A = this chain, B = another copy of it.
């Protein structure tokens, strides 16, 4: 069984850049060509086409659970079907569900996950992460714990200053580094990665120091305002250790290129994401 971190880094090397497409569809924003009939069917068809369009250009996709859960049980079935289709296309899959609970509930969330990796929320502390770690270690999957998010409101809690001088996010980073140390792959990286928003380079650099063995899942590239320079600080000196995610700029590429087929627009945009990140490493 290959360790998740090794599998992910190998896939990034094979595709030439550590990039990820975030799949979080909102029906109203999909291309006209697919917006017909039942919305969930349309999302399912669009999703299958999107995965085909990006598969040659990126090693990984992150699929947002909320966008499917809103369609209840049938939506969850589509979410899992897309994860399966992505897998068959050779893509590494991240289920972006931000789950968090303790004990048996955490173990159940871990068991529910059919992706190669799952995002988790660490507000509940060590014993909320351990059950996810146990399952991940036993089945070769990975985890990305929320440490620092790029939304404006993220500051409200994550940037509070502690009595010892650290920020809350830095304390969470130390917790993740400590727990993640339980499972390091041959690549030197842990199966437990960290979600670190592409915001201020100085902050990313400080979190990088605290979590040298965590792969950073970095959302917010492109449409959310992160630039190539911003994300540089998320990488280790060896050019590894981060996975840069773009969502809207890729999945809604048809909006800026209305004259070409939507799948071609998506493929072009995914290729562009690959080149942009490859060029800074």
Contact = CB atoms under 8 A, between A and B. Distances in A.
Instruction: Classify chain A's interface size.
Output: 35 or more
Chain A at the B interface: SS class: helix
A152 interface: yes
Contacts of A101: 64, 66, 98
Given A73-B77, A99-B98, A151 B168 contact: no
B104 A24 contact: yes
Interface in A116-159: 121-130, 146, 149, 151-158
Contacts of A155: 125
A175 interface: yes
User: How many copies of the polypeptide does the oligomer hold?
Assistant: 2
Interface string A76-120: 110010000000000000001011111111101101101000000
Interface string A57-82: 00000001011011111111100100
Interface of A: 24, 26, 64, 66-67, 69-77, 80, 96, 98-106, 108-109, 111-112, 114, 121-130, 146, 149, 151-158, 160-163, 165, 168, 171-172, 175
A108 B69 contact: yes
Given A66-B112, A69-B112, 12 more contacts: A64-B108, A70-B112, A72-B76, A73-B77, A102-B149, A102-B153, A121-B123, A124-B154, A125-B151, A125-B156, A160-B162, A168-B168
B127 A151 contact: yes
Given A154-B124, A157-B171, A168-B157, A105 B162 contact: no
